[in-house]
Amino acid sequence: MSTRDYHERLWEVVPEGLAPAAFDLRLGFLLARVSAGAKVLDVGCGEGRFAAALAGAGAEVVAVDVAEEPLRRARELHPQLEVRLIDPAGAWDLPDAGFDVVWAGEVIEHVADTASWLSEVRRVLRPGGRLLLSTPANGRFALVLCAVWPAAFDRRFDPLGEDLRFYTRRTLADLLTQFRFTDVRVRSAAGPPWARRLLLAEAIRRRF
């Protein structure tokens, strides 16, 4: 099975119109950091809810995904959006330094080749451009719970689950710094420690 076929099959079981997890929280984070007129790339746009909200706030948005099914839904729901299919395992057909902001909501944990993915993010961001992303958090409470309760470990690290990578605040911040992002800020959000928590990250592409 090709990488694209794999992602298409994942989308076959996602109900149409399903609200993204913690949508209001993540949208607030995003809109507070994107100015009207900014050129934004929404990577892993799904059905396009974040991209549509950004466009409604005055941003110039290109929405991309690695599977055709979410893009079909995005076109139907938000016909005004510019949506494109990108290669899940190669270079993206997008211009160098073409965007002020890259937004990747709940994407990086699904990426097999993180180094290549972040290299593409850097390539399409202009110098001084901003990367914004969210990903599930794996904080101390969750890790302790996994250590003492096997069922919690099984659920979090399901061998057939969609998540391929698991991040803490430190590992995500270190990763972005390693790929020559600066002003890296990562915080945990979304409820009490026993609830599903997110990491919200922002970083600036170095100019040189």
Taking the C-alpha atoms of residue 146 and residue 102, their distance in angstroms, rounded to an integer, is: 33
Q: What is the DSSP letter of 159?
A: T
pLDDT for the residue numbered 20? 93
pLDDT for the residue numbered 128? 97
pLDDT for the residue numbered 160? 60
| CATH number assigned to the domain covering 3-137+167-205 | 3.40.50.150
pLDDT in tens, 162-172: 778 989 999 99
Checking 92-95 for CB contacts under 8 A at 24+ apart, the result is 92/64, 92/120, 92/124, 94/41, 94/62, 94/64, 94/124, 95/124
pLDDT for the residue numbered 143? 65
The per-residue DSSP string of 34-83 comes to: --TT-EEEEET-TTSHHHHHHHHTT-EEEEEESSHHHHHHHHHH-TTSEE
Tokens for 46, please give them. Answer: 């799904």
Taking the C-alpha atoms of residue 108 and residue 120, their distance in angstroms, rounded to an integer, is: 12
> Under DSSP, is residue 135 helix (H, G, I), strand (E, B) or coil?
strand
Residue given tokens 């409820």 in the structure block? 191
In DSSP terms, 40 is beta-bridged to 61, 101
List the domain boundaries for the chain. Answer: 3-137+167-205
pLDDT for the residue numbered 176? 98
Taking the complete model, does pTM exceed 0.85, yes or no?
yes
Residues of the chain with confidence (pLDDT) below 70: 139-147, 149, 152-158, 160-161, 191-195
Taking the C-alpha atoms of residue 76 and residue 109, their distance in angstroms, rounded to an integer, is: 27
Q: 41 and 65 in contact (C-beta within 8 Å)? A: no
